[in-house]
């Protein structure tokens, strides 16, 4: 049963138009006043299958869904919208709805209209229409590689690289880069630049996981991966530079893991403190806040931290705030006052005092010397 009141409420949930379309694709009824130019084109609807919800996603993320309503003899159309919060200029003219919210709306509407329960996984799997049998392609590719005698890079070499990152061993990692072995990277694209970018994505993703195993906070590891991959995608067009950028990312992961392990070792208690400080670094964080989170007294926490880390917890919090501010000075246009506030120092003068004590120069001079933008 098609309850138009309930369907209309979905508009505010998916932030996109919902309309009814005849079988030939022509508009039957729009459930809100919208320009027909943002609705689903008739040729996209005509001939669509009726037994299961259709979810169509274009390369730029522009998306629509069609659900056949037997009782009304019409299609219920959701969109057009976009399920990625980025895209080209065409995509940006459409409203954004997260994929999870859109598929949840489809499941609810289908249940309402047909009484059938669907799993979101079914919607996604049933709408993958690549036109290529994966099993068939795998069989052909594996046969071809066997016939050609082609071999991938040895797994042992990959393990050595990732173990070096996990241990924070930068010299060992650089030695891995120099190893000579039989085998080659798999073919991930026909274009050489795209090939190297795809390989870089794989390498950086593996390296982030290795860094996490080595003690890096997952959010930091993921954020670093986002930045490394985005910079490679957006700014590099030379295959060699892409390859070098991936290596630099691996080294940076290893370097930071080494720094963490030197400071904390593998003590789970201290690592929990480190993680908490990382997640709250932009708050006015006090020792008693950390102690409350850890379920111990401030005195016990301070004594244990000082014995193992060689500095007081207060000093560590201040140092981490200064390190965070250094990145903001290098890579952003925020004013010194904004950075001081963002890092939750009590005042700009106090921030400058702590900063100069650590780096020997003022924040302004540091920015002038190390500015990247």
* DSSP per residue, 75-89: EEEEEEEESSS---H
Q: Can you say how many angstroms the Cα of residue 36 is from the centroid of all Cα atoms in its chain? A: 34
At 21, phi and psi to the nearest 5? -130, 140
Handedness of CA 87, 93, 94, 97 (dihedral sign): positive
Task: Say yes or no: domain 268-370 is CATH 3.40.50.300.
Answer: no
The strand pair at 54-57 and 62-69 is best described as antiparallel
Share of the chain above pLDDT 70, in %: 92
Output the six-digit token pair for 308. 């193992």
Q: What is the pLDDT of residue 186?
A: 78
pLDDT tens, 106-145? Answer: 999 999 999 999 888 888 878 764 444 556 666 766 666 6
The 10 Å Cβ neighbour count of residue 308 is 15
At 84, phi and psi to the nearest 5? -115, 145
Lowest mean pLDDT among 172-176, 238-242, 329-333: 329-333
Q: What is the pLDDT of residue 351?
A: 94
The 10 Å Cβ neighbour count of residue 160 is 16
Q: What is the pLDDT of residue 130?
A: 43
Q: What is the DSSP letter of 215?
A: T
Nearest by Cα to 68 from 51, 91, 82: 51
Q: Which residues contact 140 (CB under 8 A, 6 or more apart)?
A: none
How far apart CA 94 and CA 96 sit, in angstroms, is 7
How far apart CA 185 and CA 151 sit, in angstroms, is 8
How far apart CA 255 and CA 216 sit, in angstroms, is 11
How far apart CA 199 and CA 189 sit, in angstroms, is 10
pLDDT tens, 199-227? Answer: 999 999 999 999 999 888 888 899 899 99
pTM of the entire structure? Answer: 0.59
How far apart CA 96 and CA 187 sit, in angstroms, is 34
Instruction: Answer whether residue 239 shows pLDDT above 60.
Output: yes
Q: What is the pLDDT of residue 270?
A: 84
Strand order in the sheet with 18-21: 27-30, 18-21, 74-82, 62-69, 54-57
- The pairs formed by 105-112 with CB atoms below 8 angstroms and a separation of 24 or more are 105/10, 105/13, 105/14, 105/78, 106/53, 106/55, 106/65, 106/67, 106/78, 108/10, 109/7, 109/10, 109/67, 109/76, 109/78, 110/53, 110/67, 112/1, 112/2, 112/3, 112/6, 112/7
The answer to whether 41 touches 91, Cβ cutoff 8 Å, is no
Instruction: Answer whether residue 267 shows pLDDT above 80.
Output: no
Q: What is the DSSP letter of 246?
A: H
Q: What is the pLDDT of residue 331?
A: 83
pLDDT tens, 24-76? Answer: 999 988 998 888 777 898 888 888 888 999 998 887 888 999 999 988 899 99
pLDDT tens, 90-103? Answer: 888 899 998 889 99
How far apart CA 364 and CA 271 sit, in angstroms, is 33
DSSP code per residue over 261-290: HHHHTT-HHHHHHHHHHHHTTTS---HHHH
How far apart CA 306 and CA 327 sit, in angstroms, is 26
Q: What is the pLDDT of residue 135?
A: 62
């Amino acid at each position: 049963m098609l309850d138009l009141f309930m369907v209309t409420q979905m508009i505010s949930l998916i932030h996109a138009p919902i309309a009814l379309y005849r079988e030939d694709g022509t508009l039957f009824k729009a459930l809100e006043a919208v320009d027909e130019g943002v609705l689903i084109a008739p040729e996209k609807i005509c001939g669509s299958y009726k037994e299961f919800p259709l979810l169509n996603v274009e390369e730029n993320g522009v998306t629509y869904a069609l659900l056949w309503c037997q009782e009304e003899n019409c299609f219920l159309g959701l969109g057009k919208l976009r399920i990625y919060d980025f895209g080209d200029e065409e995509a940006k003219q459409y409203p954004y709805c997260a994929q999870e919210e859109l598929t949840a709306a489809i499941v609810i509407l289908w249940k309402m209209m047909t009484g059938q329960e669907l799993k979101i996984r079914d919607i996604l799997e049933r709408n993958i229409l690549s036109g290529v049998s994966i099993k068939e392609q795998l069989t052909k590719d594996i046969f071809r590689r066997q016939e050609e005698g082609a071999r991938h890079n040895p797994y042992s070499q990959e393990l050595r690289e990732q173990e070096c990152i996990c241990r924070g061993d930068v010299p060992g990692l650089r030695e891995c880069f120099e190893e000579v072995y039989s085998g080659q990277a798999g073919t991930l694209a026909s274009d050489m630049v795209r090939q190297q970018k795809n390989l870089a994505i794989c390498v950086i993703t593996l390296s982030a996981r290795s860094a996490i195993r080595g003690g890096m906070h997952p959010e930091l590891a993921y954020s670093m991966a986002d930045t490394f991959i985005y910079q490679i995608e957006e700014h590099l067009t030379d295959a060699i530079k892409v390859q070098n950028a991936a290596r630099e990312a691996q080294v940076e992961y290893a370097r930071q893991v080494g720094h963490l392990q030197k400071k904390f070792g593998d003590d789970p208690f201290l690592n929990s403190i480190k993680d908490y400080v990382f997640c709250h670094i932009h708050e006015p964080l006090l020792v008693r806040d950390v102690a409350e989170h850890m379920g111990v007294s401030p005195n016990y926490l301070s004594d244990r931290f000082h014995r193992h880390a060689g500095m007081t917890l207060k000093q560590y919090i201040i140092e981490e705030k200064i390190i965070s501010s250094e990145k903001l000075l290098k890579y952003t246009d925020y004013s010194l006052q904004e950075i001081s506030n963002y890092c939750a120092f009590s005042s700009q003068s106090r921030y400058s005092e702590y900063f100069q004590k650590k780096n020997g120069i003022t924040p302004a001079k540091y920015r002038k010397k190390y500015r990247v933008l």
